Amino acid sequence: MVTVWFSLVVLCWVLFFVLEGFDFGVGVLGPVLGRDDHERGAIVRTVGPFWDGNEVWLVAAIGVTFAAFPDWYAALLSGFYLPMAALLLLLAVRGVALEFRGKGDGERWRRRCDTALAASSAAIVLLWGAVLGVLTHGLALGADGEVTGAGLSRSLDPLLSWPALAGAGLAFYAALLIGAVFLALRTTGPVHARARRWSVRLAAAGTVVLGGAGFATGSRLVLAAAALCMGITLVARHGRELVAFGITALGVAGAVVAVFTAHGDVVLRSTLDPAWSLTMTGAAATDSALRLLSVVGVVVLPGVLVYQAFSYWVFRRRVASERVPS
């Protein structure tokens, strides 16, 4: 039961990072790929109907983590207090910028929203990447399951470490790549052409950099990522956009799974004393709570997936970025 719920928690996080991953990437790429107000509007419209539904996977992920593993939820969020507060504020700015862009008045308002959207999306991706990076390493958990330390540095210091920096860099790259691939899939016209060029270039660059790093460190995981990038490069060059998107999404999903299962059944590693690490069973809720959740999970989750898929189907049409001569 505990393992099933651990898998479901990871599934929710995977869906969040894959689905929001592309709309974060689209947010960052907006001012880069959209040359004018009209093109940037087309870029925002590619995610307009979806981003809110995507973000709900964060609500689900954190809610299910709380429900199934209350100790994990408590240690994670209080331990990452300031990064989480920053993430929430950035998500607030980003959501509002997306939703308010088309409702305000004039081009200046929209340009401001585009800037806020790009800046907040970039910062969110970097922060999440850093948090995931730290998770592979562990936190300074004390015997009571809380992160120790004093002042602001208690929850900020972990972000100034090498795993955090590597995580931030990789996440930023992944968001750009999946954003570009998604835009290539969802648009027509000049934005489409640019997004396609960018996705090929980004994937090729990833192949070289990750390949080099993989051979240098001998890490099979990094080599696999490099191989994936090579695949994306080839497929994107041939304009097979759905396949390219599928492979990229698979890569992001794999990375998230790798982070969550990095330490076997230890869900949160203590860097102070291995005995203080939080294990899957140690952090789990009672059986009765898990049983209740299972009923809901079996009934509700498939339904959610069905109607979200339906919404992607309704808005399957590509967004035009070329100007229609009037």
Q: Please pick, from the candidates 93, 213, 230, 272, the single residue that binds another protein as defined by CB under 8 A.
A: 93
Q: Cβ closer to another protein: 154 or 201?
A: 154
For the segment 277-296, give every residue that binds another protein (CB under 8 A): 285-286, 288-289, 292-293, 296
Question: Which one of 102, 115, 273, 281 is in contact with another protein (CB under 8 A)?
Answer: 102
Phi-psi region of 239 (alpha: psi -120 to 50; beta: other; left: phi over 0): left
Would you count residue 15 as binding another protein (CB under 8 A)? no
Coil, helix or strand for 246? Answer: helix
Q: Which residues 307-326 are close enough to bind another protein by CB under 8 A?
A: 307-308, 310-311, 314-320, 324
Among 36, 52, 107, 273, binds another protein (CB under 8 A): 52
Site membership for another protein, residue 193 (CB under 8 A):
no
185 binds another protein (CB under 8 A): yes
Mark the segment that binds another protein (CB under 8 A) among 71-79, 163-171, 226-234, 271-279: 71-79
Q: Which amino acid is at 26?
A: V
The long-range contacts involving 207-213, CB below 8 angstroms and separated by at least 24 positions, are: 207/233
Footprint of another protein on 105-164 (CB under 8 A): 105, 142, 144-152, 154-155
**CB-based burial of residue 191 (10 Å sphere; 0-12 exposed, 13-18 middle, 19+ buried)?**
buried
When asked if residue 22 is in the footprint of another protein (CB under 8 A), the reply is: no
CA 199, 202, 203, 204 dihedral sign is positive
Q: How far is the CB of 162 from another protein (least distance, A)?
A: 23
Pairing mode of beta strands 266-268, 278-279: antiparallel
Binding residue for another protein (CB under 8 A) from 136, 161, 188, 279? 188
Buried b (16+ CB within 10 A) or exposed e, 2-25: beebbebbbbbbbbbbbbbbbbbb
**Separation CA 284–CA 290 (nearest Å):** 9
Report in angstroms how near the CB of residue 142 gets to another protein at its nearest: 7
Q: Show the binding pattern over residues 28-47: x = contacts another protein (CB under 8 A), - = does not.
A: -----------------x--
What is the distance between the alpha carbons of residues 163 and 181, in angstroms, rounded to a whole number? 27
